């Protein structure tokens, strides 16, 4: 079986050809502005045209809230979707293949849960990337909630007087820890501006670079302990461009180790690495 896997993030769209669960080819493009679902689907499929003759189905994982009517943004600063945004329907009519769609972090959570093996009952996946996304598996079931919102843990508030979040709240984890928040803090200090990749390289030499990264990692650690307190998770899996950057996971685990034992939880890197959401997109056709 061949699946066209599509992972739509706030910064880039990853595309993959997945055969029997294995990613055999991969490409990516910068996320275009989402004008309407047909135009967005066309742009994506143009980049996958050489695979289209052999695919049986299309699996999508996307940033945003996914309902049967389409995608909508919780934080439009991450990626603004005009409402409604029926992307699954547009992809289905353009490819004539079955399309399955989940929120990006929910899809990755289910993939990573299966990759962990049979000893785990309750876990969460957290992606620290353009935004901070999440998915939770409770009693071995992906928990989406009636509105599909479950797992949007980037929008839990950890600093009542913290920075404004694009979702409309103040002090969300995403407004403090995301790649976007890190870039904002870095741009306020470093001239000329530097990329987040360069910020991580600078951390061993610049206290300020280290402080910006540590603030993000500490916020993710607080989120992990909050999740442990709420859901008594067995493990948390971390992914995303920031989450998997060198030294980030260690910073998170160190910050967790300084908190009371009852709230500590072990945090591990995604087995799907940077492609956890892409593999999760295809995994919807596994069972
Ligand atoms: C935002 C939200 C989530 C998403 C998360 C990570 C939007 C558009 N997205 O919190 O649905 O899971 O970002 O998204 O509201 P990414 O773009 O960083 O992968
Ligand atoms: Zn928010």
Query: Is the minimum distance from the CB of 181 to ligand 1 under 6 angstroms?
Result: no
Query: Is the minimum distance from the CB of 106 to ligand 1 under 6 angstroms?
Result: no
Which residues of the chain have a pLDDT value below 50? none
Cα(136) to centroid(ligand 2), Å: 18
DSSP 220-231: HHHHHHHHHHHH
Question: Tokens standing for 231?
Answer: 């859901």
Residue length of the chain: 287
Nearest CA to ligand 1 atom 6: 133
Query: Is the minimum distance from the CB of 64 to ligand 1 under 6 angstroms?
Result: yes
Q: Which of 7, 32, 78 maximizes ligand 1 atoms within 8 Å of its Cβ, making it the mutation to test the pocket?
A: 78
Nearest CA to ligand 1 atom 11: 64
Partners of 127 in the β-ladder = 133, 239
Q: Which of 8, 31, 32, 75 maximizes ligand 1 atoms within 8 Å of its Cβ, making it the mutation to test the pocket?
A: 75
84-140: pLDDT as tens digits: 899 999 999 999 999 999 999 999 999 999 999 889 999 999 999 999 999 999 999
The model's pTM = 0.98
Cβ-contact 61, 8 below 8 angstroms: yes
Cα(254) to centroid(ligand 2), Å: 25
Of all atoms in ligand 1, which is nearest to the CA of residue 166?
15
Peptide bond into 84 cis (omega under 30): yes
Q: ipTM of this predicted complex?
A: 0.99
Cα(134) to centroid(ligand 1), Å: 9
Query: Is the minimum distance from the CB of 128 to ligand 1 under 6 angstroms?
Result: no
Starting from the CA of residue 178, give the closest ligand: 1
Peptide bond into 154 cis (omega under 30): no
Sign of the CA dihedral running 206, 213, 162, 263: negative
Cα(129) to centroid(ligand 1), Å: 8
Which pLDDT value is given to residue 287?
Answer: 58
Query: Is the minimum distance from the CB of 130 to ligand 1 under 6 angstroms?
Result: yes
């Amino acid at each position: 079986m061949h699946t066209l896997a599509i992972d739509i993030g706030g910064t880039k769209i990853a595309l993959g050809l997945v055969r029997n669960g294995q990613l055999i080819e991969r490409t990516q493009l910068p996320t275009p502005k989402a004008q309407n679902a047909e135009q967005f689907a066309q742009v994506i499929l143009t980049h996958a045209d050489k695979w289209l003759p052999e695919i049986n189905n299309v699996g999508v994982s996307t940033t945003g809230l996914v309902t049967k009517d389409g995608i909508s943004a919780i934080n439009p600063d991450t990626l603004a979707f005009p409402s409604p945004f029926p992307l699954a329907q547009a992809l289905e009519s353009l490819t004539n293949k079955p399309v399955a769609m989940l929120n990006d972090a929910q899809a990755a959570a289910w993939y990573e849960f299966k990759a962990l093996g049979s000893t785990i009952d309750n876990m969460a996946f957290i992606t620290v990337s353009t935004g901070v996304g999440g998915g939770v598996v409770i009693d071995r079931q992906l928990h989406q909630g009636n509105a599909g919102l479950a797992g949007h843990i980037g929008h839990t508030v950890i600093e009542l007087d913290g920075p404004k979040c694009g979702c409309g709240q103040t002090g969300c984890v995403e407004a403090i820890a995301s790649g976007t928040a890190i870039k904002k803090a870095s741009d306020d200090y470093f001239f000329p501006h530097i990329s987040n990749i360069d910020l991580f390289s600078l951390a061993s030499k610049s206290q300020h670079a280290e402080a910006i990264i540590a603030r993000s990692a500490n916020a993710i650690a607080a989120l992990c302990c909050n999740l442990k307190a709420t859901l008594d998770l067995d493990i948390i899996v971390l992914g995303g461009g920031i989450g998997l950057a060198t030294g980030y996971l260690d910073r998170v685990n160190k910050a967790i180790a300084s908190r009371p034992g009852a709230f500590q939880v072990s945090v591990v890197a995604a087995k799907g690495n940077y492609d956890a959401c892409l593999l999760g997109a295809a995994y919807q056709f596994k069972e």
